[in-house]
Amino acid sequence: MGSRHGQPLARSSSGGSFALPGPCLCAARAGPIGLHRWLGCQPGSIQRAFREKVKVTAGRGRARFQVWSELCIATVIKHTCKKRVVEITRNMTLGTLEHASELLQVSSGGAVLNTAFIERFNGTVRERLANLTRRCRHAAGRLETLEAGMYLIGCTYNFCWPHHELSKPHHAGQACTPAMASGLADHVWRVRDLLEYRLVPAPWVEPRRRGRPRTRLLPDPTQPKRPRGRPRIRPLPDVSVFKRPRGRPRKAALAPTTS
């Protein structure tokens, strides 16, 4: 998915989009790919998002999660004094600075690492999604509602809304969306086209059964079930026969009640 102009892109191999507090550069299989912002994301969360299963040993055994070797994570720290930025420190959390500079040049994302583009996208998402505004009365009751809203805003931002910077004459020269600039679309989509777009479902894989394999065959549902418990020694009493009262017999008759 595309982001704002000049911002390096990254996403997981499953197609999900994520957000970072600073720039994240990722040379994917076909080159740098776009990234969305996710509030409160830390380097550990980024590494858990951009990893895949790798079978190290042959035979049975669990596959190991391995972080992408092309992934670069940079942290930008701004030092302020009297509400003014006096110094900017750029550190590489994962990867090398040379690799990150190469990705910047390939994606035309500027000369140095900065957070301007991703912060601008964060402001756009907060503006268009009421659940993320500060001190709002539209708090999401469930996490699924917030995730659905984030995906809707991200997809419409990339496919349906022309980008102001990309539409300038020195770039595309016409209405252009981030998806068109990334080569994922050739025209501006409508919201209806996006909602009605159909994806081929993934092939169904039978889940693996846990526990020991079954040794006995399943019972035939057409056959009557064998009664459980001990077999009955005495037969059931006849309902038509009068039952003998239990307890001691009464010696005196009950006195009549008077109203």
List the pLDDT tens digit at each of the 259 positions of the chain.
333 333 333 333 333 333 343 333 333 333 333 333 333 457 788 888 888 888 888 888 888 899 888 888 888 888 999 989 899 888 888 888 888 888 877 766 677 888 787 788 888 888 888 888 777 777 777 888 888 888 899 899 999 999 888 888 887 888 999 899 888 899 999 999 999 988 888 899 888 888 888 788 888 888 888 778 888 788 887 878 777 777 777 776 666 666 5
Is 14 within a domain?
A: yes
Question: pLDDT at position 218, please?
Answer: 82
Buried b / exposed e across 228-255, counting CB within 10 Å, b at 16+? eeeeeeeeeeeeeeeeeeeeeeeeeeee
Indicate if 46 and 92 belong to the same structural domain: yes
CA angle, residues 251, 253, 255, in degrees to nearest 5: 140
Indicate if 105 and 148 belong to the same structural domain: no
Tokens 């809304």 found at: 161
Is 236 within a domain?
A: no
Integer CA distances (angstroms), 47 to 58, 198, 199, 219, in order: 25, 30, 28, 49
Question: pLDDT at position 253, please?
Answer: 64
Indicate if 95 and 169 belong to the same structural domain: no
Indicate if 24 and 55 belong to the same structural domain: yes
The tally of domains found in the chain comes to: 2
Indicate if 71 and 148 belong to the same structural domain: no
Is 170 within a domain?
A: yes
Is 166 within a domain?
A: yes
Indicate if 90 and 142 belong to the same structural domain: no
Is 209 within a domain?
A: no
Is 256 within a domain?
A: no
Is 38 within a domain?
A: yes
Question: Domain limits at 46?
Answer: 1-114
Indicate if 144 and 100 belong to the same structural domain: no
Question: pLDDT at position 250, please?
Answer: 73
The pTM of the full predicted model, rounded to 2 decimals, is 0.52
Indicate if 66 and 36 belong to the same structural domain: yes
Question: pLDDT at position 36, please?
Answer: 34
Indicate if 182 and 133 belong to the same structural domain: yes
Question: pLDDT at position 35, please?
Answer: 36
Indicate if 103 and 134 belong to the same structural domain: no
Considering 58, 87, 114, which residue would you say is the last residue of a domain? 114
Give the integer Cα–Cα distance in Å for 22 and 89: 12
Give the integer Cα–Cα distance in Å for 42 and 20: 7
The two three-digit tokens of residue 229, written as one number: 């418990």
